[in-house]
Amino acid sequence: MIGADDGGHIMVTGDVGAFPVHAHETIFREVTPMKITRKVKAILDNYGADSPGVKANLARILMQGKLGGTGKLVILPVDQGFEHGPARSFAVNPDAYDPHYHYQLAIDAGLSAYAAPLGMIEAGADKFAGQIPTIMKINSSNSLARGGDAPSQAITGSVAEALRLGCSAVGFTIYPGSDAAFDMIGQFQDMAAEAKALGLAVVLWSYPRGGGLSKPGETALDVAAYAAHMAALLGAHIIKVKPPSDHLEQDAARAVYESVGVDRTTLAERTRHIMQASFAGRRIVVFSGGAAKDREGLMEEIRGLRDGGANGSIIGRNTFQRPREEALDLLSEIIGIYKTGS
């Protein structure tokens, strides 16, 4: 700790004792290193092909906040302004128009990371530097565009910008099932290769939609598992998918699911299958919160995800659309649910 004595001398106290220094002198001080827990070390060991830089950034996320060291995560994503527009995203809680509000919410709630597009990261990167790991969302869609059978997203950020702003990871969305999916996958591969080469972790939102998928099919168990597995195959470090329903979309997959008796009766069992599809749990998988829902419905969903072995949740509208104190209380309850299963 740095302070001053009665004579106005600068004093440094801490692990190396207390001593006076002059303002022009360089201060050397022992810093306690971040201690990686066994659970986090076991997770990092699953990424044996990755560089020390990537692993260090994954460790920063896994060791951050109230769930630090448990192997569980709760991340705040705020990309809804792109996806749904400002009023639909923030009018219900006007404080949320301010990017600093989201940084502070994530920090005060003790979350694992904060994910947002370029502009929102830029708006608070200096003021909140080092206080919480950030994930720059590099592509985005918007509700003014016509997706049809080929929904896609525009590139709205870059690996270079993420490095400039001190991000720990970059995020990207693909739409398995879309007629534009192959192009999105190619873009992701280019971005992921650049990010990994420079030591950044890679988060992939794998959201089935478009093409011949029905609306229920977007969260069908067989499709969600396919999307998670595809993300793992593409080399994502952290996979984001939606909580799966018990619906089966593909006839060929239904025949297999029914013949081998894959249990899809509860969210916990369906989550367990998603984890199985993600390299038998060797990849970090977090689940979205989706559209705003009542508190008990959300907590029931979180408990199901926890019981199925999920690594955590990435939850936006269900938190920042509530008043700040209510959001903090809700996030505290979510963190508590994951802690009991860690």
Residues carrying an active site annotation: 207, 240
Indicate the burial class of 131 (C-beta count within 10 angstroms; 0-12, 13-18, 19 or more). Answer: middle
Extended strands (E) in 177-324: 201-206, 238-241, 284-288, 312-314
Q: CA 284, 319, 151 angle in degrees (round to 5)?
A: 65
Residues 6+ apart with CB under 8 A from 150: 178, 179, 180, 210, 211
Contact 121, 115 (CB under 8 A): no
C-alpha to C-alpha distance for 69 and 59, rounded to whole angstroms:
9
How many of the other CB atoms lie within 10 Å of CB of 25?
10
- The structure tokens listed for 215 are 């609306």
- List the one residue out of 166, 167, 165, 178 whose CA is nearest residue 205: 178
Contact 334, 297 (CB under 8 A): no
Dihedral (C-alpha) 333, 169, 49, 307: value to the nearest 10 degrees?
20
Indicate the burial class of 109 (C-beta count within 10 angstroms; 0-12, 13-18, 19 or more). Answer: buried
Coil, helix or strand at residue 162: helix
C-alpha to C-alpha distance for 185 and 200, rounded to whole angstroms:
18
C-alpha to C-alpha distance for 80 and 205, rounded to whole angstroms:
14
The tokens 């991340």 sit on which residue? 75
The alpha helices in 155-265, defined as continuous H runs, are 159-164, 181-197, 221-233, 251-260
